């Protein structure tokens, strides 16, 4: 159910210092999010595609992920052409179609996919543990990083607890339906999950205290900023500034 | 409940990020190191629970549960939800880096508001608890949908219809969340009252 399918690999991107990847992805994503013209957006889409190819992740899985996200975007393709007030109107009986809406929906689609592809190729290519370590090196508050790591650590444990509870209700003949009884059962499953999580939390905390927990989280990972990481971050920054320049030039 | 990447405008994304940062700062301040392990494990439980698909007629909906998050965690809902969204971005690519802030606000702000509005009534007798818990579950999702709709309208006036659609289509989720929150809170009150009466 929960997995990190892109984290394993040995491509060029996998070998770049994670801190640089996080910083580059953040800068690039926010820049693309601010673009509104077709030319920079299409350039960004091309750059993102290249980065996915460079990261050597399974393209089939990438398409699957993107398809799921595009289902939400589909809503804009249906609603915007019918409601987006613009100049030209094609009327098909009582239904008015606004070309401006279609243009806007297309821009949203390109932008969304470009941003997500960079998320997949730069950040989903590291394990969550690595992400946590690099965030703590990037001066994200320690408490937040600690919370992140604990949550990640226990998601899989809690998921097993959840499957245990689900098995037991299935053995007792539970079939999910749209009834109050079903909702009550799900509520009790969630309640039980929370109680088990809370009891586990007490045990974990006691164990931490026994081992001398002093209220500080230490990250021992050592990151090496080598030449290729600097080259990578320079190229990404250059490309990002290029996209920004295109947006400014074509924005009339 | 997510807003996808690439839809919202720069000012909306940035104000979302600023609000989320402020809320997270308050939450982290209240969260001392003795309680981080507890909050993290509860946050993991909410993450797993939010993957549950509950049947609704021929389809199914997944739960948001920010009402219960608010009642159990208070201001710590901000860091907990931020962490959960980051995990979702990495595991499933639902939402990414630029929408992290606004999506945190969409889910965590209603959780904190509902915590202040309804948690005083949860400790009372059962009938009051039932009404308060239902309202908490219902309005938490309602406020989330309203913030999401607001973010869309501030981006582009022509998103009016989409925003209304978002709010209306979440109506069944609000009703279901109300029931789930009620039953869950009654269950916790009976089985482990210490979880609620912090």
C-alpha to C-alpha distance for A39 and A32, rounded to whole angstroms: 12
Same domain? A90 vs A196: no
Give B143 to chain A, closest Cα distance, Å: 20
HSE-CB at A175 with a 13 A cutoff on CA atoms is 2
Q: What chain B residue is nearest to A160 in terms of C-alpha separation?
A: B48
Same domain? A159 vs A43: no
* Nearest of B186, B132, B170 to residue B56 by alpha carbon: B170
Give B42 to chain A, closest Cα distance, Å: 6
Same domain? A94 vs A178: no
pLDDT tens per residue, chain B (198 residues)? 778 888 888 899 999 999 999 999 999 999 888 888 889 999 999 899 888 888 888 888 888 899 999 999 999 999 999 999 998 888 887 777 899 999 999 999 999 999 999 988 887 678 888 999 999 999 999 999 999 999 999 988 888 888 888 899 899 999 999 999 999 999 999 998 888 865
For chains A and B, what is the number of CB pairs under 8 angstroms? 242
**In whole angstroms, how far apart are CA A247 and each of A32, A39, A109, A216, A235?**
9, 7, 17, 45, 18
Contact B40 A180 (CB under 8 A): no
Composition of chain B by helix, strand, coil, percent to 5: 80, 5, 20
Helices (H) and strands (E) in chain A, counts: 8, 2
* Residue range of the domain that includes A107: 18-133+224-250
Question: Is some CB atom of chain A closer than 8 A to the CB atom of B152?
Answer: no
Q: Which residues of B touch A65 (CB under 8 A)?
A: 92-93
Question: Is some CB atom of chain B closer than 8 A to the CB atom of A87?
Answer: no
For residue A121, is it within any domain? yes
pLDDT of residue B187: 93
C-alpha to C-alpha distance for B92 and A66, rounded to whole angstroms: 10
Q: What is the domain count for chain A?
A: 2
Same domain? A56 vs A108: yes
For residue A4, is it within any domain? no
Percent of chain A at pLDDT exceeding 70: 96
Give B12 to chain A, closest Cα distance, Å: 11
DSSP lists the bridge partners of residue A231 as none
Same domain? A122 vs A149: no
For residue A204, is it within any domain? yes
For residue A216, is it within any domain? no
* pLDDT tier for residue A1 given thresholds of 50, 70 and 90: low
Indicate if the pLDDT at residue A140 is higher than 80: yes
pLDDT of residue A53: 92
For the stretch A113-130, pLDDT in tens is 999 999 999 998 888 888
| Residue range B10-195 in CATH 3.20.20.210 | no
A18, A133 in Cβ contact below 8 A? yes
pLDDT of residue A252: 66
* Residues 37 through 66 of chain A touching chain B, CB cutoff 8 Å: 65-66
């Amino acid at each position: 159910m929960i997995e990190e399918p892109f984290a394993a690999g040995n491509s060029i991107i996998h070998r770049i210092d994670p801190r640089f990847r996080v910083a580059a992805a953040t800068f690039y994503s926010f820049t693309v999010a601010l673009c509104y013209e077709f030319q920079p957006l299409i350039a960004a889409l091309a750059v993102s595609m290249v980065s996915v190819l460079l990261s050597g992740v399974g393209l089939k899985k990438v398409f699957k992920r993107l398809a799921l996200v595009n289902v939400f975007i589909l809503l804009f393709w249906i609603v915007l052409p019918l409601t987006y007030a613009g100049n030209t109107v094609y009327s098909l009986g009582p239904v008015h179609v606004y070309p401006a809406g279609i243009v806007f929906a297309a821009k949203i689609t390109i932008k969304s996919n470009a941003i997500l592809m960079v998320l997949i190729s730069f950040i989903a290519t590291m394990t969550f543990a690595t992400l946590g370590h690099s965030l703590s090196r990037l001066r994200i508050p320690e408490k937040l990083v600690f919370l992140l790591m604990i949550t990640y650590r226990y998601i899989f444990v809690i998921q097993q607890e959840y499957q245990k509870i689900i098995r037991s209700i299935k053995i007792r003949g539970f079939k999910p339906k749209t009834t109050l009884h079903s909702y009550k059962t799900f509520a009790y499953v969630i309640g039980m999950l929370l109680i088990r999580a809370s009891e586990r939390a007490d045990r974990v905390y006691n164990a931490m205290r026994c081992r001398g927990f002093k209220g500080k989280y230490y990250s021992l990972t050592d990151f090496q900023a080598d030449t290729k990481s600097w080259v990578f971050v320079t190229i990404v920054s250059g490309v990002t500034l290029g996209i920004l320049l295109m947006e400014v030039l074509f924005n009339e | 409940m997510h807003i996808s990447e690439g839809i919202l405008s720069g000012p909306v994304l940035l104000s979302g990020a600023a609000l989320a940062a402020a809320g997270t700062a308050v939450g982290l301040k209240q969260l001392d190191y003795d309680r981080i392990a507890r909050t993290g494990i509860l946050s993991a439980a909410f993450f797993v629970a939010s993957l549950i698909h509950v049947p609704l007629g021929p389809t199914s909906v997944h739960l948001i549960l920010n009402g219960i998050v608010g009642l159990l965690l208070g201001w710590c809902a901000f860091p907990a939800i931020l962490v959960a969204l980051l995990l979702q971005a990495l595991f499933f690519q639902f939402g990414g880096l630029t929408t992290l802030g606004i999506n945190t606000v969409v889910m965590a702000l209603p959780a904190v508001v509902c915590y202040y509005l309804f948690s005083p009534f949860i400790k009372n007798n059962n009938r009051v608890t039932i009404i308060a818990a239902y309202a908490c579950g219902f309005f938490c999702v309602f406020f989330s949908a309203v913030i999401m709709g607001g973010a869309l309208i501030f981006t582009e006036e022509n998103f009016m219809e989409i925003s209304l659609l978002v709010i209306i289509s979440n109506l069944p989720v609000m009703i279901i969340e109300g029931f789930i929150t009620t039953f869950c809170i009654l269950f916790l009150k009976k089985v482990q009252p210490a979880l609620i009466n912090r």
